[in-house]
Amino acid sequence: MKGSPFNRNSIGFISGLTLREEKIKFALTGAIKHPQIFYDYVDSSRQPWAISPAQCVNYVSCHDNYTLFDKLQYSCPESSMEEIERMTRLAIGIILTSQGIPFLHAGVEMHRTKGGHHDSYRSPDDVNKIDWSRKSVYSGLFLFTKNCIELRRQHPAFRMREADMVREKLAFFPKYIPGVIAYELKEHANGDSWEDILVFYNGNNYSVEYEIPEKNWLIVAQNGEISPGGMGHVTTKVIRLHPISMMILAEDKRSNFPVG
């Protein structure tokens, strides 16, 4: 998602590098065998290695190497703070809507920094500490992360444990757009209350239009924001994916909102 952890200047899916979509798809299915993934383009693993998605831990940063914030500061020096936060929100959104076990580096929800240190096991507390004042400075990112966790808690479609269920219930859209990943969690996946869920990740720094079935869709996430309870409805056949962001739509049959 972010580029190589060993090359601070490299970029990844969230920072605009295209042709990495299969690697993201590989991870978000929990590293299992899925018929819609082209493994020749997954250079980290030419074949699936997990029997169950529960064997796969997904993360974008950890105690080793740069924090996500520091990595993005180095690799995207011309990006604004707003753009860096959009990248961070997209990364966190991908982790928390992927099959498998999500792992969040402590402090990623408040742009944790180690001052650019990438190997801080011998560094003092002033490098490794979590600066809790950043929680209020970056309260929007904190709340976004909290809502992503709540969405995952409420909806088992994002945490299927059986590979056969993932293959049956998770289907990628056939239309390919560089820098975009689109898939559906269908037919009350894993007993979810939502019948169908559409998930889109746009790693491009520009908007993209995407065709979808015309239904009564509840908007759960768009343009860097997320609300597990929804933030309105849409019935159009074409949606706009905002730059560097995640969009989630859920089929909401409990509403009388008209289609058309």
Q: What is the pLDDT of residues 110-149, one digit of tens each?
A: 999 999 999 999 999 999 999 999 999 999 999 999 999 9
* Residue type for position 11: I
Rounded CA gap, 138 and 191, in Å? 35
> How is residue 145 written in tokens?
């992360």
Q: What percent of the chain has pLDDT above 90?
A: 94
What pTM, to 2 d.p., does this model score?
0.96
Reference 181, options 4, 32, 27; nearest CA is 27
Q: Is 254 in contact with 232 (CB distance < 8 Å)?
A: no
Phi-psi category of 19—alpha, beta or left, where left has phi over 0 and alpha has psi -120 to 50?
left
For residue 256, pLDDT beyond 50: no
C-alpha of 36 from chain center = 19
User: Beta strand 197-202 with 180-185: parallel, antiparallel or unpaired?
Assistant: antiparallel
**Domains of the chain, earliest start first:** 13-157 (no CATH), 165-251 (2.60.40.1180)
Question: Which whole-number Å values give the CA distances from 151 to 27, 161, 187, 220, 254, in the listed order?
Answer: 19, 17, 18, 9, 18
Specify the 3-state DSSP secondary structure of 223: coil
pLDDT digits (tens, 9 = 90+) for 88-117: 999 999 999 999 999 999 999 999 999 999
